[in-house]
């Protein structure tokens, strides 16, 4: 792991992926594998280990991530001739893991209330507006003004940023895409660009011209504003989930239409066989923007509190 696999991961994978692998290794696997030779590790060893994680309360996704890393290590070792097979393939989790907890998302009313309440915090308002149209936090950080076509009403997602690492091409093969912008979000972006000079071209940057730390922004600005307006902070990903929920409301739940907007697919079949429908995606995005504008219009002028 230390001398062969992790160096390969660091060279071939994105920085966020490498960091995630290292966290799982240090927290769960390093102690487990410490006194075992590769060739001596058997499927029953993995079965006992993974089952014990579930018994301790680890949920489905977390167990899957641990198992995936275990399998990746042995698969790489087998490919290089250190061992003859991957023992994780035959391992079995003997107890059904508990499903993941429900992930939170913002309702349309919460989105509108947040954008209204953040009028006096334009940088935070831009960050939340971008999350409310479905951008990942890493895509928000990596966004440059050259990616926004104000005339055409389009935003081009071309890169992602994790900590100090900027990756062209985004998170995955579906991440590079065009996102339709309606007048509500276009207006927020335009107002901010016209009143805040960019030093390095990033839409959101700190005083040194570097990419903005969104976590620090949420702690320092967004969460206090949310608390003052009786809003629950659900993270930036809560905005992305809320956007997809609302857009699918206008497509009768047809994710084939909206998946291109969010840069992912819900099934392998969609990813390989179903093509994006950009015109229908644009209609759904404009419907979301229109509903957001209408809801903002029903809020109190000062933006305090949630309207019923």
Least confident of 8-17, 108-117, 269-278: 269-278
Higher pLDDT, 221 or 261: 221
What confidence category does residue 265 fall into, taking pLDDT thresholds of 50, 70 and 90? Answer: low
**3-state secondary structure (DSSP) of residue 144:** strand
Q: What is the pLDDT of residue 264?
A: 67
- Tally of CB atoms within 10 A around 79: 10
CATH code, residues 5-90 = 1.10.150.130
Q: What is the pLDDT of residues 154-209, one digit of tens each?
A: 999 999 888 778 888 766 677 888 999 999 999 999 999 999 999 999 999 999 99
Judge whether residue 303 has pLDDT over 70.
no
Q: Which regions of the chain carry the CATH code 1.10.150.130?
A: 5-90
Q: What's the burial of 154, exposed, middle or buried (CB within 10 Å: 0-12/13-18/19+)?
A: middle
Q: What is the mean pLDDT of residues 106-121?
A: 96
Ranges in the chain annotated CATH 1.10.443.10: 108-297
Q: Residue 58: its pLDDT value, please?
A: 94
Query: What CATH class does 108-297 carry?
Result: mainly alpha
Mean pLDDT of 277-299: 85
C-alpha 308 chain-centroid distance: 30
| Sequence-ordered list of residues with C-beta below 8 angstroms from that of 193, at least 6 positions apart, any chain | 145, 148, 203
Reported pTM = 0.77
Q: How confident is the model at residue 268, as a pLDDT?
A: 28
Looking at every residue in the chain, the average pLDDT score rounds to 88
Least confident span in 1-15, 88-102, 106-120, 253-267: 253-267
Predicted pLDDT at 67 = 97
Above 60 in pLDDT, residue 267?
A: no
Residue 67: closest CA among 31, 7, 24, 98: 24
* pLDDT at residue 273 greater than cutoff 50: no
pLDDT exceeds 50 at position 257: yes
CB 128 within 8 A of CB 118: yes
Give the pLDDT band of residue 304 (cuts 50, 70, 90). low
Residue 306 in this model has a pLDDT that exceeds 70: no
Q: What percent of the chain has pLDDT above 90?
A: 69
pLDDT > 50? residue 30: yes
């Amino acid at each position: 792991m230390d001398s062969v696999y992790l160096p390969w991961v660091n060279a071939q994978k994105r920085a966020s992926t490498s960091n995630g692998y290292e966290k799982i290794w240090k927290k769960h696997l390093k102690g487990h594998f410490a006194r075992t030779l590769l060739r001596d590790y058997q499927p029953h060893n993995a079965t006992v280990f993974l089952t014990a994680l579930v018994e301790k309360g680890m949920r489905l996704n977390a167990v899957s991530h641990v198992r995936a890393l275990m399998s990746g290590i042995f698969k790489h070792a087998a490919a290089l001739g250190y061992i003859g097979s991957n023992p994780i393939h035959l391992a079995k989790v003997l107890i059904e893991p508990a499903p993941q907890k429900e992930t939170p998302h913002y309702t349309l009313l919460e989105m509108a209330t947040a954008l209204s309440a953040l009028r006096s915090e334009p940088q935070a308002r831009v960050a939340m507006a971008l999350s409310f149209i479905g951008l990942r936090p890493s895509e928000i950080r990596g966004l440059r003004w050259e990616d926004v076509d104000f005339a055409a009403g389009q935003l081009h997602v071309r890169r992602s940023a994790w900590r100090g690492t900027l990756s062209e091409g985004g998170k995955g093969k579906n991440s590079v895409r065009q996102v339709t912008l309606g007048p509500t979000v276009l207006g927020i972006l335009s107002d901010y660009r016209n009143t805040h000079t960019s030093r390095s071209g990033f839409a959101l940057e700190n005083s040194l011209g570097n990419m903005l730390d969104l976590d620090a922004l949420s702690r320092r600005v967004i969460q206090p504003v949310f608390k003052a307006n009786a809003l629950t902070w659900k993270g930036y990903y809560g905005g992305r989930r809320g956007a997809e929920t609302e857009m699918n409301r206008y497509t009768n739940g047809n994710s084939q239409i909206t998946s291109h907007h969010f840069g992912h697919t819900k099934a392998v079949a969609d990813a390989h066989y179903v093509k994006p429908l950009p015109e229908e995606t644009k209609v759904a995005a404009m419907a979301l923007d229109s509903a957001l504008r209408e809801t903002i219009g029903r809020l109190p002028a000062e933006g305090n509190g949630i309207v019923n």
